[in-house]
Chain A
Amino acid sequence: MAAMLDIKDINVYYGAIHAIKGISLTVNEGEIVTLIGANGAGKSTTLRTVSGLLTPKEGEIKFLGETISGLPAQDIVRAGISQVPEGRRIFANMTVMENLELGAYIRTDKEGIEKDYQMVFERFPRLAERKEQQAGTLSGGEQQMLAMGRALMSRPKLLLLDEPSMGLAPLLIREIFNIIVDINKAGTTVLLVEQNANMALSIANRAYVLETGRITLSGDAKELAASEDVRKAYLGG
Chain B
Amino acid sequence: MNIQRKNDLMYLVLGLVIFGIVYGLMEGGMIGSFWKLNIIIICINIIMSASLNLINGYTGQFSLGHAGFMAVGCYVSVILTTNFHMPLIVGMLAGGAAAALLGCLIGLPTLRLNGDYLAIATLGLGEIIRIVIMNINYVGGAAGFTGIPHLTTFPWVFFTMLVTLFFIKNFVNSTHGRACIAIRENEIAAGAMGINTTKYKVMAFTIGAAFAGIAGALFAHCFYIINPSSFTFMASFNYLIMVVLGGLGSLTGSVAGAFVVTALSAALASWPEFRMIIYALALILLMFYRPQGLFGYVELTAFKPFRFLDRTKGGRE
Q: A103 to B193, alpha carbons, bound, how many Å? A: 6
Binary per-residue interface labels of chain B (183-207) against chain A in the complex, 1 for a CB within 8 Å, 0 otherwise: 0011011111111110000000000
- Complex interface: chain A residues within 8 A of B194 (CB): 73-74, 77-78, 105-106, 154
- Complex interface: chain A residues within 8 A of B70 (CB): none
Nearest residue (CB) in B for A154 is B194
A82 within 8 A of B: yes
Tally of chain B residues near chain A (CB < 8 A):
19
The B-contacting residues of A in range 72-129, CB under 8 angstroms, are 72-74, 77-78, 82-85, 89-94, 97, 101-103, 105-106
A24 → chain B closest CB, angstroms: 24
B178 within 8 A of A: yes
Q: Assuming A89-B188, A91-B185, is B193 touching A72 (CB within 8 A)?
A: no
User: Do residues A85 and B189 form an inter-chain contact, with CB atoms below 8 A?
Assistant: yes
User: Do residues A90 and B186 form an inter-chain contact, with CB atoms below 8 A?
Assistant: yes
The B-contacting residues of A in range 21-49, CB under 8 angstroms, are none
- Complex interface: chain B residues within 8 A of A94 (CB): 181, 185
User: Do residues B191 and A105 form an inter-chain contact, with CB atoms below 8 A?
Assistant: no
User: Do residues B195 and A105 form an inter-chain contact, with CB atoms below 8 A?
Assistant: yes
Q: A74 to B316, alpha carbons, bound, how many Å? A: 27
Q: Which among B182, B192, B195 is the interface contact of A83 at CB below 8 angstroms?
A: B192
A63 → chain B closest CB, angstroms: 15
A206 within 8 A of B: no
B297 within 8 A of A: yes
Nearest residue (CB) in B for A106 is B194
Q: Assuming A102-B178, A105-B179, is B192 touching A92 (CB within 8 A)?
A: no
Q: Tell which of B186, B194, B196, B316 has the most Cβ of chain A within 10 Å.
A: B194
Q: Assuming A102-B178, A102-B182, is B193 touching A89 (CB within 8 A)?
A: no
Q: A90 to B185, alpha carbons, bound, how many Å? A: 8
User: Do residues A77 and B185 form an inter-chain contact, with CB atoms below 8 A?
Assistant: no
- Complex interface: chain A residues within 8 A of B190 (CB): 102
Q: A37 to B189, alpha carbons, bound, how many Å? A: 24
A104 → chain B closest CB, angstroms: 9
User: Do residues B189 and A91 form an inter-chain contact, with CB atoms below 8 A?
Assistant: yes
Q: A57 to B182, alpha carbons, bound, how many Å? A: 29
Q: A19 to B197, alpha carbons, bound, how many Å? A: 25
Nearest residue (CB) in A for B192 is A83
User: Do residues A89 and B196 form an inter-chain contact, with CB atoms below 8 A?
Assistant: no
Q: A105 to B176, alpha carbons, bound, how many Å? A: 10
User: Do residues B193 and A77 form an inter-chain contact, with CB atoms below 8 A?
Assistant: yes
Q: Which among A51, A93, A101 is the interface contact of B192 at CB below 8 angstroms?
A: A51
Q: A105 to B34, alpha carbons, bound, how many Å? A: 50
User: Do residues B188 and A93 form an inter-chain contact, with CB atoms below 8 A?
Assistant: no
User: Do residues A85 and B188 form an inter-chain contact, with CB atoms below 8 A?
Assistant: yes
A116 → chain B closest CB, angstroms: 14
A157 within 8 A of B: no
Q: Which among A52, A77, A83, A91 is the interface contact of B186 at CB below 8 angstroms?
A: A91
B174 → chain A closest CB, angstroms: 13
B278 → chain A closest CB, angstroms: 32
- Complex interface: chain A residues within 8 A of B191 (CB): 52-53, 73-74
Nearest residue (CB) in B for A97 is B316
User: Do residues A89 and B179 form an inter-chain contact, with CB atoms below 8 A?
Assistant: no
Q: Tell which of B179, B195, B297 has the most Cβ of chain A within 10 Å.
A: B195
A64 → chain B closest CB, angstroms: 17
Q: A82 to B192, alpha carbons, bound, how many Å? A: 7
Q: A11 to B173, alpha carbons, bound, how many Å? A: 41
- Complex interface: chain A residues within 8 A of B186 (CB): 89-92
- Complex interface: chain A residues within 8 A of B197 (CB): 73
Q: A97 to B182, alpha carbons, bound, how many Å? A: 13
Q: Assuming A72-B196, A74-B196, is B297 touching A93 (CB within 8 A)?
A: yes
The A-contacting residues of B in range 190-229, CB under 8 angstroms, are 190-197
The A-contacting residues of B in range 296-317, CB under 8 angstroms, are 297, 316
Nearest 8 A/B pairs, CB to CB:
A77-B194, A91-B185, A106-B194, A89-B189, A73-B191, A83-B192, A74-B196, A74-B194
Given A53-B192, A74-B195, A91-B189, 15 more contacts at CB 8 Å?
A51-B192, A53-B188, A72-B196, A73-B192, A74-B196, A77-B192, A77-B193, A78-B194, A82-B192, A91-B181, A94-B181, A102-B193, A103-B193, A105-B195, A154-B194
Residues on B facing A (Cβ under 8 Å): 175, 178-179, 181-182, 185-186, 188-197, 297, 316
30 residue pairs of the A-B complex, CB under 8 angstroms, read A72-B196, A73-B194, A73-B197, A74-B191, A74-B194, A77-B192, A77-B194, A82-B192, A83-B192, A89-B186, A89-B188, A89-B189, A91-B185, A91-B186, A92-B185, A92-B186, A93-B185, A94-B185, A101-B178, A102-B178, A102-B190, A102-B193, A105-B182, A106-B193, A106-B194, A147-B189, A150-B193, A151-B192, A154-B193, A154-B194
